[in-house]
Structure 1
């Protein structure tokens, strides 16, 4: 554990690399009014004023900036059943398309069936978005705890789909509306403004879950697969906890069962199970590997070393679908920290145990219309 001040620490070993700016931002966050404690995950890295990869418990106040613009962003894991006995990843990658375009189905009905009555941003429903979002077909690499993953329907030969996305423009509109009136100020939970924000926040969280489910549905439909939900965990949200309000920005909950923690498109995803009481880890787990380089640094560094086409295959043999060259460089595996180190820090802290590792087969980011 790395101690920052009396109210803040990072769940990481001294050998893990944490940027000084991320530590500074966590210290600043711990000094906000009402903050009881602030805990950084091993993937902690700098954000816009406040760090990403952190859990912050606040008494009586909600801070929209500590949740961010992509309210409800999270990871959903599905088991896929493909027809036939042999997986042809390259052929499958060519069949995938359209996950950035408007869904032709009844988006409002899809939302209503999942408890979302506000039809806002329906044109974006079922789309992945940019940044570090993705839909990734994965194969089981290793089962560390076979008996624990059996109830999830995952076996050695299973194929799974991991979807990382959120509430798209809806979450951003909620934060923008707050900033337009209140700037970076927090809101008293019992105030009219606080209650309004929490209602909008909860709607965005539900919208995000519905979005991940539709992305998975579209992916499975493209490849002719059957789809079976395994888990859906949100990592950008604020929830009641121990008499206060637990803000998570890039941190998965510790009390909702197994969590998928991806590294990058070129590294393994870890399926973990929370252990212990969660106190030392802020009742949270890491949500990924965390960025090592900024997007501009990643573009510059990777362009000096690779042509874009060379990044469409990974060291693990996976195929990458990404027609945006900037995004291809920005999201290169080298731009991220070591996922094995992140997970090892969590395990050493007693926060989780590894159930299985998953290997990327096809990572879908964006395919421009008309690309064959």
Structure 2
């Protein structure tokens, strides 16, 4: 049994709606409208916009939702399992060679190793998308070598086995085409409608969803391995969190479904919240019980401009060549000019404000700030 019920544009939201953002943060009205529209879906209990909230394709990004009786694949989106992995690199900052690395790193195309074997090591079954395993992907995905800018919580930083004089690697990627295929199969039958929990269709979706989440985690591990091989280093995974998922949740003894659409978990330990490629990233520790934020945190800075607007505005102000270096003197590998402009730092909200909003809301404390050294996007030359 399933439902393709859609929200009414005139009815009041059935769920509690909350936007966690200070008056100093700019949140586009369309994003709030989308959040309220999703709150009208049958069974919705809570709709939370984080400080990085921005409009998406029908549903906002930077949001978390809880529902009862129904789960909504549309709210998870097409990149099931997308997330962040942070790796401690066994290489001191003083040995960083970003210019040399930028000239030779290439993560395009299938990995030359045994993809099925790599998945087996991570207890993940092949999905038919192994040609993309170990690749970053497009959009806002990246692999970034970082250095420690400042340590704010020495005890937590040390407990994670980190050292201020060593490099780090942050990988943002997902399940590549796998998640998109899963969502498309759902949308072809139900559009934006939900699935009744415990129905055969819901169980089938959740099985495929969980597979994509695990595949995405393995993908980040292989992207890290390819990056580390490219710079001649080894690394250790410090954390890995998922931004796009639906998971069961107990609330007052009742089963609910927690949907995250571009939202980091509050309940899985430390999280990295990245800025743009020309800004700091924040390693934070969640605090409090997270109930007021649907157990979720911002997953990044959040877009300020659409991709079209970014291309138009950034081209008027910068050359493509100038965008391959940042104010941190870091290097950017991105041979797709459209993507280079779309992902330029001015297209994103200030990450400092996003994290400050989370701190002031009592959701996190800052452990460390991380600065970019080399950001890898793509070698694909699309003019």
TM-score range, shorter chain: over 0.9
Query: Once the 2 structures are TM-superposed, how far is the Cα of residue 84 of structure 1 from its aligned partner?
Result: 9.3
Tell me the CA shift for residue 26 of structure 1: 0.5
Q: Which of the residues 287, 297, 315 maps onto 2:299? A: 287
Tell me which residue corresponds to 2:333. 321
Matches within 5 A, 1:31-50: 31-50=40-59
Would the alpha carbon gap of residues 346 and 79 (structure 1) be closer, same or farther in structure 2, given more than 3 Å must change? Answer: same
**Aligned counterpart for 1:96 among listed residues 105, 108, 124:** 105
Instruction: Answer yes or no: is the 8 Å Cα contact 2:14–2:45 preserved in 1.
Output: no
Q: Is the 8 A contact 2:92 2:166 kept in 1?
A: no
- The separation in 2 between residues aligned to 1:144 and 1:172, in whole angstroms, is 39
Which residue number in structure 2 is paired with residue 181 of structure 1? Answer: 189
Say whether 1:9 aligns with 2:13.
Answer: no
Q: 2 CA distance for matches of 1:171 and 1:5?
A: 29
2:27 to 18, 40, 44: 18
After TM superposition, give the deviation of residue 185 of structure 1 in Å: 1.0
Give the unaligned 5+ runs of structure 2: 1-12
Q: Indicate how the Cα distance of structure 1 residues 84 and 295 shifts in structure 2: closer, same or farther if over 3 A, else same.
A: closer
**TM-superposed deviation, 1:6:** 6.3
Deviates more, 1:108-117 or 1:14-23: 108-117
Distance of 2:312 and 2:47 partners within structure 1: 33
Q: Report if the CA contact (8 A) 2:92-2:165 is conserved.
A: no
Q: Equivalent residue of 1:82, what SS?
A: strand
- The gaps in structure 1 that reach 5 residues or longer are none
SS of equivalent residue, structure 2 residue 292: coil
Query: Over residues 204-249 of structure 1, what are the superposed CA-to-partner deviations in whole Å (9 max), with x where a residue is unaligned?
Result: 0000000000000000011110111100000100001121000000
In structure 2, do the counterparts of structure 1 residues 54 and 84 end up closer, same or farther at CA, with 3 Å as the change threshold? closer
Q: Write out aligned runs for 1:88-127 (5 A).
A: 88-97=97-106, 99-127=107-135
Residue pair 2:243, 2:265 contacting (<8 A) in 1 also? yes
Distance verdict in 2 for CA 1:36–1:102, change over 3 Å:
same
Aligned-residue offset at 1:88? 2.2
Residue from 69, 72, 76 that aligns with 1:63: 72
Equivalent position of 1:80 in the other structure = 89
SS at match of 2:180: helix
Aligned residue pairs, count = 365
Give the structure 2 partner of residue 347 of structure 1.
Answer: 359
The question of whether the paired residues in 2 share the 8 Å contact of 1:83 and 1:224 is answered with no
Pairwise CA RMSD of aligned residues?
1.3
TM-score, normalising length from structure 2? 0.93
Partner SS state of residue 329, structure 1: helix
Q: Quick check: 2:274–2:299 contact (8 Å CA) kept in 1?
A: yes
Is 1:54–2:63 an aligned residue pair?
yes
How far 1:354 sits from its partner (Å)? 0.2
Instruction: Kindly provide the CA deviation profile for residues 271-323 of structure 1, in whole angstroms up to 9, marking residues without a partner as x.
Output: 00000010122211100000000000000001111110010000111100000
Give TM-score, length-normalised by structure 1: 0.96
CA contact (8 A) 2:127 2:178 kept: no
User: For each residue in 1:13-60, what CA deviation from the matched residue of structure 2 results, as whole angstroms up to 9, or x when unmatched?
Assistant: 122110000000000011110001111100000001110001100102
Aligned residue runs from structure 1 range 238-257, under 5 A: 238-242=246-250, 243-257=255-269
What are the residue-to-residue correspondences of 1:170-209 with 2, within 5 Å?
Answer: 170-209=178-217
Matches within 5 A, 1:257-276: 257-276=269-288
